[in-house]
Amino acid sequence: MTHLADENCAALSGPEHKLTEAAINVLRVQVPEWSQDAQGRLHRRYGFDNFVDALAFTNTLGEIAEAQGHHPDLELGWGYVVVNLSTHDVGGLSRNDFIVAARIDHLAA
């Protein structure tokens, strides 16, 4: 199995790129700390000791998002960053969401 963190996001558009429940379950093995929120988005919270560290993480994460052309919705404050991923153009989760999730995990590790 190739590692998701070594892959790059592709231009995906259209419902045919929306992952099935079965495909999601296979990919989640590689990003076990992530869950799906009520809206089906791929979701993880990272904790930090202060605001500055949370903001620094956000900036490095932002470089990944910009390089991959795939941008999460973030929540950020004193001691935390929450990352929410989905792919608007497919109407759900795509492989791109898992690639970015795996790359962010590498960053946090």
**CB of 55 vs a second copy, minimal distance in Å:** 5
Closest distance to a second copy from the beta carbon of 13 (Å): 16
- # residues contacting a second copy (CB under 8 A): 16
Q: CB–CB of 32/40 below 8 Å?
A: no
Name which position in 3, 13, 40, 51 contacts a second copy (CB under 8 A): 51
Beta carbon of residue 75, minimum distance to a second copy (angstroms, whole number):
5
Applying CB under 8 A, which of residues 73, 89, 91, 106 lies at the interface with a second copy? 73
Residue 77 makes contact with a second copy by CB under 8 A: yes
| Sole binder of a second copy in the list 28, 58, 68, 108 (CB under 8 A) | 58
Query: Would you say the C-alpha torsion 93, 36, 75, 64 has a positive or negative sign?
Result: negative
Please give the structure tokens belonging to residue 99.
Answer: 């690639």
Q: Which two tokens mark 87?
A: 């792919």
Q: Where are the alpha helices (DSSP H) in the chain?
A: 21-28, 51-68, 95-108
Of the pair 55, 108, the CB lying nearest a second copy is at 55
Interatomic CA distance for residues 76 and 33, integer angstroms = 18
- The Cα–Cα gap between 38 and 27 comes to 19
> Site residues (CB under 8 A) for a second copy?
51-52, 55, 58-59, 62, 65-66, 71-78
